[in-house]
Amino acid sequence: MRLPFQYAVRNLFRDPVRLLQTVAGSWLVVLLVMGAHALSLGMRETLRASGSSRNVILLGAGSEESAQRSEVADRAAAMAEAGIAGIESVAGARSVSPEIHYMSPLFIAGRLSNDVLIRGVTPAALRTHRDVVLIDGQFHAAGEVIIGRLAWKRLGVAPEDLRPGAVVRLDNKDLTVRGSFAAPGTVFESEVWANLNDIRTLARRETVSCVVIRLTPDADPSDAELFARQRLDLELSAVTERSYYERLAGFYAPVRAMTWLTSLLITVGALFGGFNTLYAAFAARIREIGTLQAIGFSRTALFISFLQESLLAALIGTLAAGVTASVLSDRFILYFSTGAFMLTLTPLTALIGGVTGVGIGLLGVIAPAIRCLTPPLPSALRAA
């Protein structure tokens, strides 16, 4: 004989405080697990999406993992344009972009901002970095900058402080914000782009950080590697842009692992809290449980009812966590040393959250239910 489902529902709402504790615990754990997955996935995919398989980066030998530390002779761009086969041309102009990567704070709206990657470029950067699209204003000239649409978060300022026409100061030079750009799913959106010669002067450099080359679809990146090996005088190393950002993604793997470890520890803590809550709830009903057994309900039927009760509470918390995550995900912008990204919920994230909620409901009830169903029937009936 099985207990009706309504029995589990009634018991669930018998103690509102206990219900709130159970739901809140499930909500917190599921939200953290979904957040950990969204963070890990967002960071990894942002770095991987930033690299194009058709782009090759010429870096200084020994600096393959950091363009900021790299130094490349200024003449390398012209030599690469002449010496590498298969460079793509757009409107008669070849896609070769010399760049300086410079990390520095800016003086904005009367205060010093956080450090941001300032990329000194020429208009050729738009031919090599095809994901970058101007969404407001125009491409910058000397004395001007354009701002990635997520750069305000990286800088730690309000978006209004970076509107077109605003003035930012780099070292002792005022630069006018000319416009803004988007590059969805890439690290470029958290950068500030400035005129190459301005950054060369302000950074006091006679070299560039790298040269980015975009190849035609049928070109072989090994041609760029061969060029780098042959021109020993330039001391170059050629890596595909995708490989460069995949290495960065690997560098941040420990950060993602720590996020998952933190979520796991909180989950274990919430499970123990759930054990205590359910122990207290079921122990107070031992006489009731004994009575149900006396009138013919088996321990299996009672266990199934306990399971239904626990799953209902966990699924309410899971649903609340899913709603919370969907509302907050588009508003959360996280940044790390090389960029920023928005938390995005995917079907896999939702599935992981659902599985976590069901797991909490199943695991949280087993030990308390066994403990309360173990006493012999005479002892259960005499329980206070």
Domain ranges for the chain: 5-48+252-382, 55-218
CA atoms within 13 A on the CB side of 230: 11
Cβ-contact 136, 168 below 8 angstroms: no
Q: How confident is the prediction along the chain (384 residues), in pLDDT tens digits per residue?
A: 677 778 777 877 877 887 888 888 888 888 888 888 887 777 777 777 677 888 999 998 888 777 888 899 989 999 998 888 889 988 888 899 999 999 999 999 888 988 899 999 999 999 999 889 999 889 989 999 999 988 888 888 888 999 999 999 998 899 999 999 998 878 888 899 999 999 999 988 889 999 999 999 888 888 888 888 888 888 889 898 888 887 777 766 777 777 778 777 777 776 676 666 666 666 667 677 777 777 777 778 888 888 888 888 889 989 999 898 888 776 666 666 566 667 778 888 889 889 888 888 888 787 777 777 776 666 655 554
Residue 196 identity: L
Q: CA torsion 135→138→140→146, rounded to 10°?
A: -20
Q: What is the pLDDT of residue 36?
A: 83
Instruction: Check residue 174 and give its pLDDT.
Output: 93
Q: Give the total residue count for the chain.
A: 384
Phi-psi region of 116 (alpha: psi -120 to 50; beta: other; left: phi over 0): beta
Helix (H) or strand (E) holding 236: strand 236-240
Residue that the structure tokens 């739901």 belong to = 23
Taking the CA atoms of the chain, what radius of gyration do you get in angstroms?
A: 30
* pLDDT reported for residue 181: 94
